[in-house]
Amino acid sequence: MKSLDASSNIENIPALKVLARSRVEGRMPHAVLFTGQNSELLLKASEWLAGLHLETGDPLSHADCRALRPAKKSRRINMESTLEVVGDLRLTSTTGRRVVIIYDVDRFAPEAANCFLKTLEEPPAGTLIILQTTNYYRVLPTILSRSLRFHLGGEQSLIQDASWNNWLKDFENFVTKLATSKPTQNRSTEIIIPLYSLCARFEVLLELFLEEALEKAPPPPITDDEDKKDITEAHEENIRRGIWNRMLVSMEERIRLMGRSHPTLSLQIASTVTALESCRVRLELSYSRISGLENFLLQTVRIFSSRPPSSSS
């Protein structure tokens, strides 16, 4: 499979060129916020900048690098982890430089964010705080005002994989059948059986893409065995969420293309896109992904089943 890829020449990204030049000139900001839709690109950019500041090719294993990540099922950056990082920054560094990487800063629990604000505003000398998120508009204003934002762009590339393309083709056929058959037939086994088949295959593909992605971006080294499981699960969940979003983008594109082929069904197509967006929202609320997909497909059946007979194509 060749489905997931981020920029291989990370240092050529304009924003990172600016930061590299700022470091040489002694003008490096103390807090940098990376935003964009490509989670892999944000991860690579954060680690590249950390390596530049600490002058190492493996910043995540460096003694002066700390990280804050969402953990546990809540996928929140909690108070306990935040207090630990703040405390570590009071200790003497080995190089005179430190880095704190905050992954998915939009997932800060409010009390933990408030705890970190003083450090974010006035970090210890030689400290660089790198924040990153794919959900810029969910970042607390108090954090935004204390960091310098760099938008990396890098929209998530579409998944290029034969199995996924076959799934999309079957999904398109499923919706086409709803659009072209009589409403009274839409709840037949010809619809329901393919619906659950789509759900099952989607889940398998999602986990296959996750496995591939984790080979390219494994969880960072963790020394505390007590935290290892929680942080590893949160890292996997973040990667899984990015893949899921890319899959939904491809689905939305297929739905909109269908709208061009069936102009008399514009209202149904618009409702289906809205239902897909609701599915995306459920993802952000940690709703079961496959249950969310199943609910979306069942909603799609209802949308087309309730259309007036005259709108049939």
Among 161, 131, 105, which residue's Cα sits nearest to residue 33? Answer: 131
Strand partners, 33: 131, 149
3-state secondary structure 269-303: HHHHHHHHHHHHHHHHCCCCHHHHHHHHHHHHHHH
**CA–CA gap between residue 269 and residue 160 (Å, rounded):** 25
Assign 171 to helix, strand or coil. helix
Token pair 């804050």 is found at 68
**CA–CA gap between residue 298 and residue 275 (Å, rounded):** 10
Per residue in 129-174, pLDDT tens?
999 998 887 888 889 889 999 888 655 566 888 999 999 999 999 9
The reported pLDDT for the residue numbered 83 is: 93
Strand partners, 150: 34
Which spans in the chain are helix H?
A: 14-24, 39-54, 79-88, 110-121, 141-144, 162-180, 189-216, 225-261, 266-284, 289-305
**CA–CA gap between residue 202 and residue 197 (Å, rounded):** 8
Per residue in 92-131, pLDDT tens?
888 889 999 999 998 898 899 999 999 999 999 999 999 9
Q: Are strands 127-133 and 98-103 parallel, antiparallel or unpaired?
A: parallel
The structural domains of the chain, with segments of one domain joined by +, span 10-151, 162-311
Q: What is the CATH number of domain 10-151?
A: 3.40.50.300
**CA–CA gap between residue 281 and residue 129 (Å, rounded):** 29
pLDDT surpasses 80 at 280: no
What pLDDT band is residue 285 in, cutting at 50, 70 and 90?
low
Assign 142 to helix, strand or coil. helix
**CA–CA gap between residue 22 and residue 27 (Å, rounded):** 5
The reported pLDDT for the residue numbered 71 is: 77
Strand partners, 102: 68, 131
Query: What length is written for the chain?
Result: 313
Q: What are residue 58's phi and psi, to 5 degrees?
A: -130, 70
Token pair 């935040």 is found at 82
The reported pLDDT for the residue numbered 76 is: 84
**CA–CA gap between residue 179 and residue 40 (Å, rounded):** 37
Per residue in 175-230, pLDDT tens?
988 888 765 554 567 788 899 999 999 999 999 998 888 887 777 666 555 566 76
**CA–CA gap between residue 67 and residue 81 (Å, rounded):** 9
Average pLDDT for the chain: 83
